[in-house]
Each structure stands twice: as structure tokens, then as C-alpha cells.
Amino acid sequence: MSEFKLSEDKISYICKELEIKESNEKALVEDLYRDFCYFYHKVRVQHLSSIVAALEYHVRKSNNKKDFRIVIREMKNSNSKNAVSFLNWGENGEYRYEIAIPTGLNDDIKLRNIVAHELSHLFFQMNCLHGDTTADLAENHYLVDKMADVLGIFTILERTDFYKDKAPKMCHDKWENIVSDFTQMSKARKFLKNPLKGTVR
């Protein structure tokens, strides 16, 4: 297990460094630890979530659809090994792209590839299928699927490069250094009159 993996044994060190001393405040940290682990467990299985967020933003800005969103869910009552996707472009007042992935597929690499392929269909449609001149291209399902594979490969290559080569350059060698970063930030921060409105510098 990575030394950076969040675990309960790190809580006391974090509390000490951030000068959290009161028992009720320590108890709050324990509660936050439990709640965050529950939340983050779901984040881990949201394949390509950063690409989903970026593509949502791209479609919103390019098409002036501020409520557009991408939804990934499991299929219901289906034995399909392939995913399906649907673009809802304003029916019922909704703007969304829905990806239904096979139920019970436990292969994370395959699931990530499936999601990348389906997201690529949306990217291809938003960027390549415009105007009357693309009608023939849109009808060529073989070519559209191949282009989604090409874009899926592009996506996975870039994400793999990010995690293997770029992300380590943004990381510390020791987990304690992360705690130190936040300790330093807290020393320069003013206390908030209304904490729900965010940080005041």
C-alpha cells in the first residue's frame, strides 16, 4: 500500500500538526475521516471523472447549454457486454449525455476503456458532425465507431501519461509534506466570519 493512502493511523499526526487539540474537534476529524472515505470510495469507481467534467464544460461553453451534464450508470435488466449512450438534446428541458455501462463488469481497465469510447462518441459528435456536409459521415456507423475508438485511445494514452509522468512531478516524496503544506497555508489565513462562504485571504 502506498504511504500516501489515507488511513486512520494518520489522523493523530494531522491533528497535532494542525493544532487540533480539543476532544470534540478530534472527534469531528474522525467523523470527517469516515464520511470522506465513504464519499471517496464512490469517486474511485467513477472512471475518467476528470475527462467527464472537462467534456461537460466543453459542451456547455461550445453550445451555450449551461445545464448540460454527463451521466454514467449501470444498465438495468441487461446481459449486454457493451455500453450504450444517448444524447438528450433538449427533450423534456434536459441537456444530457447518458452512458449505460454493462452490469457486473469487474474489470476496471475494460470499464475505463468502455467509458472512454462512449465519451469519445460525444466528443466526435460535438466536434466533427456539424452541418449538411457531415450527413453521410454521421450515417456511416462503422466509421463513427472507429473514430470513437481512436479518440478513446487518445484519451487513455493522455491519462496514462498524466498519471505516470506528470502527476509524480506534482507530488511530494513523503505524505507528511502534504500535511506541512496545509499547516503553512493555515498560518497565513484569516479566520472567517462566515465559513460557508469560503476562504478569505
Tell me: the pLDDT tens digits for 79-126? 887 888 988 888 777 899 999 998 888 888 888 899 999 999 998 888
pLDDT at 171 (0 to 100): 79
pLDDT at 198 (0 to 100): 63
What distance in Å separates the CA atoms of residue 19 and residue 21, rounded to the nearest whole number?
Answer: 6
Q: What percent of the chain has pLDDT over 90?
A: 31
Residue 132: band (very low, low, confident or very high) from pLDDT cuts 50, 70, 90:
low
Which of 146, 96, 140 lies closest to 120, judged by CA?
Answer: 146
Per-residue CA distances from 156 to 40, 49, 180 (Å): 22, 12, 33
